[in-house]
């Protein structure tokens, strides 16, 4: 019979009562019965508090108030994160700046360095937000000028000029999402990172790119005592409710904190009373770690601040605009950090336009490790065709005549055009097979597949 935690608490409590009534004979007068019941009850209560904790609830009373000495760390961290990622687009930017500056100052009073929070812990989130919002604004402004002039706010125009130097002309992109996809994997990322690392905090808060004051910071300025990972742990801990969205290093620090709270407090240089403002549970942390092992790296940021799923989406956009070079660079970086099934498949796919021989080698290694699936077989067919092995290519395509499902694939029509390969999402793999059939018929190698 399985018992739930509440039943175990009650059983241990009843045992402690019975033991006491019998003169503590069972525990030999050590009172271990009472200690065990109390410890387990507190463990269960701590787990309940940890799972129920919601940073938005902690932040709610402070949404329309200036931060003060009474503001909890979670609310301070959320104020900073929200204001710096939303940007100076609201009607009351002065109030936003004051709230952000005050929250950062209060964090500093709690021995959490403001520069460490912004330039290390929140770096990826701020960089991603700036690239997204400025690139979308850039595309809209450049693609739809009013009387040949920019209508963007002044602070955005300087970002637009920076984007011009990294992305070229707006005509290179079919829409803002394509421009953003390219920007997120381009040299623009390094430029924004450098700006965030060297610009005075007041100008970071205002997203000022041109005319900003630059500063020089040391590694000690950019981190708490425990270093980069400890800094990111503090930010994850007080800015993100769901542990499943934390960085994996942050989960390790959380486990260490639960095992040795005083030692970790000294290690990071933040008081134990501050760290304990968020309830914690070993069971909750180990549950999240175990889930990640079952579905590895689903939430981890594996390259340029993106998760595996975000990288796959970005690759499709980059390849869709013909930027196979940037796509290949992105997937190679991601593969170095997280050699997962999806990314290994994506690497072979990205290699097909420029290096079909290496692509075939990658696909074969993928098949030997994970076994072939219909999409991989379709990629093999395209690769073989580009290598001049037409008969093998058509045989591979023919094997998919009854396959189901769909996905991103190189179009058979573009294989025969002599021009750049074209990407298309096929809802039904059967449609791709029918297109490949036309190649075989045109070359007179085989009769129609008869689909």
CATH number of the domain at 394, please: 1.25.40.10
**Same domain membership, residue 236 and residue 289:** yes
Q: Are residues 340 and 371 in the same domain?
A: yes
The DSSP code sequence of 13-62 is HHHHHHHHHTTTTTTTTS-HHHHHHHHHHHHHHHHHHHHH--HHHHHGGG
- State residue 391's pLDDT score: 87
Asked if residue 232 is part of any domain, the answer here is: yes
Total number of domains constituting the chain: 3
- Cβ atoms of 415 and 431 within 8 Å: the answer is no
Q: What is the pLDDT of residues 306-339, one digit of tens each?
A: 778 778 888 887 887 778 888 888 888 888 877 8
Specify whether 281 is located in the same domain as 400: no
Q: Could you report the per-residue pLDDT of 138-190, keeping only the tens digit for each?
A: 988 888 766 556 677 888 999 999 999 999 887 888 788 888 888 888 899 99
Residues 47-67 pLDDT 10s: 777 788 888 888 888 888 899
Give dist(CA 100, CA 329) in Å, integer.
Answer: 36
Quick one: 287 and 236 in the same domain? yes
* Residue 375 sits in the same domain as residue 285: no
Last residue of a domain, one of 14, 32, 52: 52
Backbone φ, ψ for residue 337 (5° rounding): -85, -30
Q: What token pair was written down for 358?
A: 């290496």
Q: Within 10 Å of residue 65's Cβ, how many Cβ atoms?
A: 12
**Quick one: which of 47, 34, 35 has its CA closest to 6?**
47
pLDDT at 300: 66
Q: Are residues 269 and 399 in the same domain?
A: no
pLDDT at 1: 33
What is the model's pLDDT at position 441? 62
Given a contact cutoff of 8 angstroms between Cβ atoms, the answer to whether 429 and 400 are in contact is yes
Q: Is the same domain home to 309 and 387? A: yes
Percent of the chain residues topping a pLDDT of 70: 91
| pLDDT higher than threshold 70 for residue 249 | yes
- To which residue do tokens 């007179």 refer? 444
Q: Are 82 and 316 in contact (CB under 8 A)?
A: no
Beta-strand ranges (E) seen in 351-420 are 407-410
pLDDT class of 296 with cuts at 50, 70, 90? low
Where residue 414 falls among pLDDT bands split at 50, 70, 90? confident
Distance CA 106, CA 220 (A): 19
User: Is residue 266, in this structure, part of any structural domain at all?
Assistant: yes
358-409 pLDDT, tens digit each: 999 999 988 888 877 899 999 999 999 999 898 898 889 888 888 888 888 9
Secondary structure tally for the chain: helices H, strands E: 24, 4
Residue written as token pair 């790119």:
209
Residues 7 and 74: their CA atoms lie apart, in Å, by: 33
Residues 376 and 263 in one domain: no
Q: Per the domain annotation, does 76 fall within a domain?
A: no
In a domain, 248, yes or no: yes
Residues 279 and 369 in one domain: no
Using CA atoms, how far apart are residues 420 and 252, in angstroms rounded to an integer?
46
259 — pLDDT class (breaks 50, 70, 90): very high
Residue 449 confidence (pLDDT) above 60:
no
| Average pLDDT over every residue of 291-298 | 64
What is the DSSP track for 249-266? Answer: HHHHHHHHHHH-HHHHHH
Asked whether residue 391 is assigned to any structural domain, the reply reads: yes
Among 96, 98, 102, 76, which Cα is nearest to 235's?
A: 76
Whether the predicted model's global pTM rises above the 0.75 cut: no
Q: Does residue 253 share a domain with residue 352?
A: no
Q: Which residue has the higher pLDDT, 36 or 138?
A: 138
- Decide which of 239, 266, 294 is a domain's last residue: 294
Q: 3 falls in which pLDDT band (50, 70, 90)?
A: very low
Q: What is the 3-state secondary structure (H, E, C) of 265-332?
A: HHHHCCCHHHHCCCCCCHHHHHHHHHHHHHCCCCCCEEECCEEHHHHHHHHHHHHHCCCHHHHHHHHH
Residues 342 and 411 in one domain: yes
Average pLDDT over residues 255-273: 95
- Residue 133 inside a domain? The answer is no
190-240 pLDDT tens trace: 999 999 999 999 999 999 998 888 898 988 889 999 999 999 999 999 999
Domain presence at residue 176: no
Query: Above 70 in pLDDT, residue 448?
Result: no
Residue length of the chain = 451
What range defines the domain where residue 20 resides?
Answer: 5-52
CA end-to-end distance (rounded Å), the chain: 56
Task: Say whether both 251 and 380 belong to one domain.
Answer: no
* Residue 351 covered by a domain: yes
Partners of 423 in beta bridges: 410
């Amino acid at each position: 019979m399985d018992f739930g935690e509440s039943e175990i608490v009650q059983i241990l409590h009843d045992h402690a009562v019975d033991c006491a009534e019998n003169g503590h004979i069972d525990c030999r007068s050590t009172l271990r019965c009472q200690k065990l019941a109390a410890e387990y009850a507190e463990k269960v209560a701590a787990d309940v508090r940890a799972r129920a904790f919601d940073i938005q609830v902690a932040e709610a009373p402070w949404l329309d108030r200036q931060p003060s000495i009474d503001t909890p760390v979670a609310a301070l961290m959320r104020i900073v994160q929200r204001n710096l990622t939303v940007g100076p687009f609201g009607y009351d930017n002065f109030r936003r700046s004051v709230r952000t500056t005050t929250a950062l100052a209060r964090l500093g009073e709690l021995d959490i360095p403001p520069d460490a929070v912004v330039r290390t812990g929140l770096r990826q989130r701020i960089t991603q937000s700036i690239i997204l919002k400025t690139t979308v604004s850039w595309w809209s402004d450049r693609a739809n000028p009013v009387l040949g002039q920019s209508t963007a706010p002044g602070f955005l125009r300087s970002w637009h000029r920076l984007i011009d130097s990294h992305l070229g002309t707006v005509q290179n992109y079919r829409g803002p999402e394509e421009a953003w996809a390219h920007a997120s994997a381009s040299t623009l990322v390094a430029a924004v990172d450098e700006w965030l690392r060297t610009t005075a905090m007041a100008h970071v808060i205002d997203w000022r790119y041109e005319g900003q004051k630059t500063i020089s910071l040391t590694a000690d300025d950019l981190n708490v005592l425990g270093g980069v990972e400890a800094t990111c742990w503090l930010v994850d801990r007080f800015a993100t409710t769901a542990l499943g969205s934390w960085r994996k290093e942050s989960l390790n620090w959380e486990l260490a904190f639960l095992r040795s709270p005083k030692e970790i407090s000294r290690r990071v240089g933040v008081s134990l009373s501050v760290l304990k403002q968020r309830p914690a549970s070993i069971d909750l942390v180990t549950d999240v770690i175990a889930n990640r092992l079952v579905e590895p790296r689903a939430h981890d940021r594996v390259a340029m601040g993106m998760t595996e799923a975000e990288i796959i989406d970005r690759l499709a956009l980059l390849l869709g605009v013909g930027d196979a070079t940037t796509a290949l660079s992105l997937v190679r970086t991601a593969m170095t950090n997280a050699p997962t099934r999806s990314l290994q498949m994506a690497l072979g796919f990205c290699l097909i336009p420029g290096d079909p021989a290496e692509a075939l080698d990658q696909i074969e290694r993928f098949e030997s490790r994970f076994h072939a699936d219909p999409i991989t077989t379709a990629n093999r067919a395209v690769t073989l065709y580009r290598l001049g092995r037409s008969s093998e290519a058509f045989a591979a395509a023919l094997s998919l005549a009854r396959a189901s499902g769909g996905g991103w694939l190189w179009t058979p029509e573009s294989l025969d055009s002599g021009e750049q390969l074209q990407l298309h999402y096929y809802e039904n793999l059967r449609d791709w097979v029918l297109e490949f059939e036309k190649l075989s018929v045109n070359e007179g190698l085989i009769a129609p597949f008869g689909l």
